[in-house]
Amino acid sequence: MTRQSGFKERVRARMSATGESYAAARAHLDRGRPSVLNVTNGESTSISLRDSGVPGEVLTYPGPLQEADRYVLWFEADLYDQLLLIEVLSKLEAEPARISLVSIGEYRGKAHFGGLGELTPQQLAALLPEAVTFNVEDVQLAQQAWRAYRASRPRGLPAIARASSPELRFLGEAFARLMQEYPSRVDGLSLTERRILQAVDEGAHRPREIFLALWQRERRPFLADQPTFEVIKRLSEARHPLLAPGPYRDRLRLTPVGREVLEGSADHVRLNGLDRWIGGVHLTGAEDWRYDERLETVTKGP
């Protein structure tokens, strides 16, 4: 059932309950529908949008998508926001011409831009004239990307990483970064895992120091601190640990195995197995999906 047919069903249900005409029932339901719905991620951005004076109501996503005459989507360039964006576009049944997007990856005067939440209400309002309107092909690409992300095998990811769209201009980059979280054919490490080991090898020994080192290496915001600490814990508690406490318990060091893996002479997955999810793909090692740095794609087998 499309969103439009769902609205008609609600109109008919009200007609049945109240005895109103179709026009009267529709008018009653339309009064509760905002003319513009601004959809964004993050409470900080939502608060600033409400204070900015931009037209319409503001929804912090994930949340129920209301009926609206027009939608303005405010999402950032990083992977997490791009995934939310394609999820929203896959759920909305509105005509593409009624949906527009504000999405930036950089902001003048802000080095290593962290996202829309860093901007003032006035700065956000000034971005509205830059909003781009979607067409049918854009929405189809978003739907294809969402299916590829949720699929049980990653075969559809490379096509999205190669896709080019002026409106969804950060989507390909985001999916290219997503593929790098698959175990490498070289050492069995995801890019995040390798960067953690490199950070420790280069002198970042406390979890917070490691997180900050990772933040500097990423072009876009990627993992928050707690998910990063969970990866550090996983590397430390593996069957053959790659990290271990140093002389001071809060300081981590590379183990001999960790150094072998970092140097490419041992494989993390073959040593320690695998059990994690990337989208709809459950990585267990049974199907040996690997990231090939040379081809910049996900392949099956070592």
Instruction: Give pLDDT tens digits for 26-83.
Output: 655 555 567 999 999 999 999 999 999 999 999 999 989 988 999 999 999 999 999 9
Q: Domain spanning 33-177 has what CATH number?
A: 3.40.50.670
* Helix or strand run (H / E) with residue 254: strand 252-254
- What distance in Å separates the CA atoms of residue 197 and residue 295, rounded to the nearest whole number? 23
Query: Which residues contact residue 293 at a Cβ distance below 8 angstroms, ignoring those fewer than 6 apart?
Result: 184, 185, 186
Angle ∠(103,105,109) on CA atoms, nearest 5: 115
Domain with CATH 1.10.10.10 in the chain: 182-300
Consecutive H or E run containing 49: helix 43-52
d(Cα 6, Cα 295) in Å, to the nearest integer? Answer: 45
Rounded percentage of the chain residues whose pLDDT exceeds 90: 79
The CA distance from 81 to 75, in Å, is 6
CA distance 265 to 91: 46
| pTM (predicted TM-score) | 0.87
**Positions of CATH 3.40.50.670 in the chain:** 33-177
**Could you give the angle at which helices 207-217 and 191-201 cross, rounded to 10 degrees?**
120
Mean pLDDT of all residues in 161-174: 96
Give the DSSP H or E segment for 57.
strand 57-60
pLDDT band, residue 150 (cuts 50/70/90) = very high
The burial class, CB within 10 Å (0-12 / 13-18 / 19+), for 67 is middle
Tokens of 134: 């979607």
**Percentage of the chain modeled with pLDDT above 70:** 89
Residues 211, 193: Cα–Cα separation, whole Å:
11
pLDDT digits (tens, 9 = 90+) for 97-142: 999 999 999 999 888 888 999 999 999 999 999 999 999 999 999 9
Instruction: Of 292, 84, 268, 264, give the one whose Cα is nearest residue 180.
Output: 292
> Domain 182-300: which CATH class?
mainly alpha
Torsions phi, psi of 4, nearest 5?
-65, -45
Tokens of 24: 């009267």
Q: In sequence order, what are the beta bridge partners of 73?
A: 39, 101
Q: What pLDDT was estimated at residue 288?
A: 87
- How high is the mean pLDDT of the chain? 91
